[in-house]
Chain A
Amino acid sequence: DGGITQSPKYLFRKEGQNVTLSCEQNLNHDAMYWYRQDPGQGLRLIYYSQIVNDFQKGDIAEGYSVSREKKESFPLTVTSAQKNPTAFYLCASSIRTDINEKLFFGSGTQLSVL
């Protein structure tokens, strides 16, 4: 089945620790995105990538880092600099970043702080 796989589904972070969220897609999409969802708020864009080895900051990139070494993979690292990391993280992809392309989402990772 084609789709986007996020892992783990639940993740716990200790203070001062960096954690990495995985996102893999087999849709052969060029563009990939990371969003953060907090209760009562809309999704906010963290980072996006239009092509391998290239990525751009979104609206709330501080405290996060990404890499795009392979077309299929776009991992997100939540660093210790992110002081309020508890949220639901969603990865998405689209064929390209054309404005009329639909986004396809993974099932999300819930990150909580211990």
Chain B
Amino acid sequence: KQEVTQIPAALSVPEGENLVLNCSFTDSAIYNLQWFRQDPGKGLTSLLLIQSSQREQTSGRLNASLDKSSGRSTLYIAASQPGDSATYLCAVHDNTDKLIFGTGTRLQVFP
């Protein structure tokens, strides 16, 4: 059974720092991996989708990498800003055709 883990559960950093969020999954047979952002009491916004054949995707200050063989993905946020404060979730689309979500990393960027 696919399990998705995100470490750390919470992170607090000063503005301007570069940071890395981690996502690991137990079964490497995935079709893709997505990173989402969730603001408090709100829905999820898709940030990046990496297909299984890809190694990374970039959007602005965000860069997501995927290493299927080791069951890991990282979300790199450059030059963090207070507006980046949110919960970040990763989800893998596994071979049962379902999205399996991690529990998220709650990020706070303080001025």
Task: Name A residues whose Cβ lies closer than 8 Å to a Cβ of B.
Answer: 4, 6, 40-45, 58-59, 88, 90, 92, 97, 99-100, 102-108, 110
Contact = CB atoms under 8 A, between A and B. Distances in A.
B79 interface: no
Contacts, number: 56
Contact of A103 (B31, B44, B102, B104): B44
Contacts of A43: 44, 89, 91, 99, 101
Contact of A42 (B4, B31, B43, B45): B4
B86 interface: no
B46 A104 contact: yes
Given A92-B44, A108-B42, 4 more contacts: A41-B103, A43-B44, A59-B98, A107-B41
Given A42-B100, A42-B104, A103 B41 contact: no
Interface in B1-48: 4, 31-32, 34, 41-46
Interface residues of B, number: 23
B101 A100 contact: no
Nearest to A48: B98
Contact of A107 (B43, B89, B102): B43
Top 3 A-B residue pairs of the complex, sorted by shortest distance between their CB atoms: A105-B43, A42-B101, A43-B101
A33 B86 CA distance: 23
9 contacts: A42-B102, A43-B89, A43-B99, A45-B99, A59-B98, A100-B49, A100-B93, A102-B46, A102-B49
